[in-house]
């Protein structure tokens, strides 16, 4: 009887053990199946995740596999997507060769008005503005255009003196003193803005005209306007300011240590912000011998042509200061070929058709356009020179981790 009881207990224990084993085995299979289940996402909208291949409901792009658990370091990108991303590659030369690296500094600069093309128009005689023909700043005027008309009692008095001098000259013909008085009265009127034709008309009609019209003596744009119609102005007061924009100054900030590489008359490349594809050349016309107050900067100045006045004073610019050329060990690549972040520095190498792999590198000197890679790539490697950041983003999107791990 006892043997039967023991046998029953053993059978019951074996049954429970088998049940537990089957459950654990089933859980293991379910977990493995879950790990192998493929998910897909959209390259443009990573929030879209599906368990089967299809198109993105937002942009209709084909979904790509989301390979978060993949151990493969490379990434594939078909030819069409490479063209859309403007991915370019180039084979590097011998990694042990000496390459020339040109040191290049970027100087912050700005465009300013050339004072030689500016003109201050001041009142030559005191009076009242009877008519104002230019009423706002920013208006373009041409040489000889009427700007304003002035009423002046002082001008009427000078005209009367001129008429009296002419009358005296007629009475005492040939008298040198009378001739000098006429010439003196005429000169005063000319200095007060009267023209030769106006003086001839005055002599002919013998009628005073206290109104004088002031004309632009150069073409330009009205930068300042300090009068209104009906206003009284004093002799010598500033009425308006004209500026010419056909040529602009370029003022660049320079540290004293950089002045050793700059000479008077040196040609430098200028990049106007927004027009980087239209580089200009200026010659250094002036080097400021003193520092700006409160800074450790001085200034250099040149000028550039401004056809059709397409650039306005105040625009920011960059002046490229090229230094000496020194040999560098390693390989020079475009600056955008190297990805630099908190994880390190890497480039993308094309290892097969449509296949790219991240490679950790060490770098040396760099300038605005190129960077020297001292290790990590070798002769024959096909390095991505444009579009590296897109491959970096694609990798992070598909794998959910950094290319360097």
Question: What's the pLDDT tens digit per position in 321-338?
Answer: 875 555 556 778 888 888
Angle between helices 176-191 and 153-171 (to 10 degrees): 160
Cα 284 versus chain centre, distance: 21
3-class secondary structure, 146: strand
Check whether 25 has a pLDDT greater than 70. no
Check whether 262 has a pLDDT greater than 60. yes
**Mean of pLDDT values over 41-51:** 72
The pLDDT of residue 368: 66
Distance, in Å, from the CA atom of 40 to the CA atom of 144, rounded to the nearest integer, reads 73
State the CATH architecture for 71-97+330-399.
Answer: Beta Barrel (2.40)
State the burial class of residue 69 (Cβ atoms within 10 Å of its Cβ: 0-12, 13-18, 19+): exposed
CA distances 297 to 110, 257, 291, 400, Å, are 14, 10, 5, 46
The pLDDT of residue 96: 41
Vertex 258 angle, CA 306 and 365, to 5°: 100
3-class secondary structure, 210: coil
Q: Which residue has the higher pLDDT, 195 or 287?
A: 287
**Mean of pLDDT values over 156-170:** 85
**Mean of pLDDT values over 151-180:** 84
Reported confidence tier of residue 34, pLDDT bands at 50, 70, 90 = very low
Check whether 171 has a pLDDT greater than 60. yes
- CATH number for the domain running over 118-243: 2.40.50.100
Distance, in Å, from the CA atom of 75 to the CA atom of 83, rounded to the nearest integer, reads 16
Check whether 170 has a pLDDT greater than 70. yes
Check whether 94 has a pLDDT greater than 60. no
- The pLDDT tens digits of the residues spanning 222-234 come to 999 999 999 999 9
Mean residue pLDDT of the chain comes to: 80
Beta-sheet strands, E only, within 198-283: 211-215, 220-225, 232-233, 238-243, 247-254, 267-272, 280-283
The pLDDT of residue 20: 47
3-class secondary structure, 8: helix
Vertex 48 angle, CA 47 and 51, to 5°: 130
Angle between helices 153-171 and 196-205 (to 10 degrees): 60
Classify the phi-psi angles of 26: left when phi > 0, otherwise alpha if psi is within -120 to 50, otherwise beta.
alpha
Reported confidence tier of residue 33, pLDDT bands at 50, 70, 90 = very low
The pLDDT of residue 32: 44
Cα 313 versus chain centre, distance: 14
Distance, in Å, from the CA atom of 296 to the CA atom of 224, rounded to the nearest integer, reads 33
- Which residues are registered as beta bridge partners of 102? 325
Nearest Cα neighbor of 199 from 161, 250, 152, 146 is 161
**Mean of pLDDT values over 118-144:** 90
- Which residues are registered as beta bridge partners of 305? 247
- CATH number for the domain running over 105-114+245-323: 2.40.30.170
Record the pTM.
0.53
Check whether 274 has a pLDDT greater than 50. yes
State the burial class of residue 287 (Cβ atoms within 10 Å of its Cβ: 0-12, 13-18, 19+): middle
Reported confidence tier of residue 285, pLDDT bands at 50, 70, 90 = very high
């Amino acid at each position: 009887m006892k043997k039967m009881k023991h046998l029953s207990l053993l059978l019951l224990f074996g049954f429970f053990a088998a049940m537990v084993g089957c459950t654990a085995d089933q859980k293991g299979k379910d977990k493995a199946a879950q790990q192998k289940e493929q998910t897909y996402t959209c390259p443009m909208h990573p929030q879209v995740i599906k368990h089967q291949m299809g198109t993105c409901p937002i942009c209709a792009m084909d979904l790509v596999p989301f390979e978060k658990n993949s151990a493969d370091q490379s990434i594939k990108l078909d030819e069409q997507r490479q063209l859309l991303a403007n991915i370019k590659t180039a084979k590097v030369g011998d990694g042990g060769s000496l390459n020339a690296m040109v040191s290049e500094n970027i100087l912050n600069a700005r465009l300013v008005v050339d004072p030689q093309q500016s003109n201050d128009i001041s009142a030559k005689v005191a009076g009242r503005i009877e008519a104002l023909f230019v009423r706002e700043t920013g208006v373009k005027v041409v040489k000889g255009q009427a700007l304003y008309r002035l009423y002046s009692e002082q001008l009427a008095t000078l005209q009367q003196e001129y008429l009296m001098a002419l009358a005296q000259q007629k009475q005492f013909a040939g008298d040198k003193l009378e001739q000098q008085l006429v010439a003196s009265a005429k000169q005063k009127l000319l200095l007060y803005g009267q023209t030769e034709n106006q003086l001839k008309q005055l002599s002919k009609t013998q009628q005073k005209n206290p109104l004088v019209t002031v004309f632009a003596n150069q073409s330009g744009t009205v930068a300042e306007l300090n009068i209104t119609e009906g206003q009284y102005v004093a002799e010598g007061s500033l009425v308006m300011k004209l500026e010419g924009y056909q040529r602009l100054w370029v003022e660049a900030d320079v540290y004293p240590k950089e002045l050793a590489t700059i000479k008077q008359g040196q040609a430098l490349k200028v990049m106007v912000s927004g027009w980087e594809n239209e580089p200009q050349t200026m010659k250094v016309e002036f080097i400021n011998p003193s520092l700006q107050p409160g800074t450790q900067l001085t200034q250099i100045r040149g000028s550039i042509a401004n056809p059709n006045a397409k650039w306005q004073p105040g625009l920011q610019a960059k002046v490229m200061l090229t230094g000496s050329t020194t040999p560098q060990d390693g390989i020079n690549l475009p600056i955008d070929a190297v990805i630099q972040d908190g994880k390190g520095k890497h480039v993308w190498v094309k290892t097969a058709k449509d296949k790219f792999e991240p490679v950790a590198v060490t770098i040396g000197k760099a300038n605005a356009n190129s960077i020297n890679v001292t290790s990590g790539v070798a002769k024959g490697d096909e390095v991505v020179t444009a579009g590296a950041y897109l491959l970096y983003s694609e990798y992070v999107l598909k794998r959910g981790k950094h290319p360097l791990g």
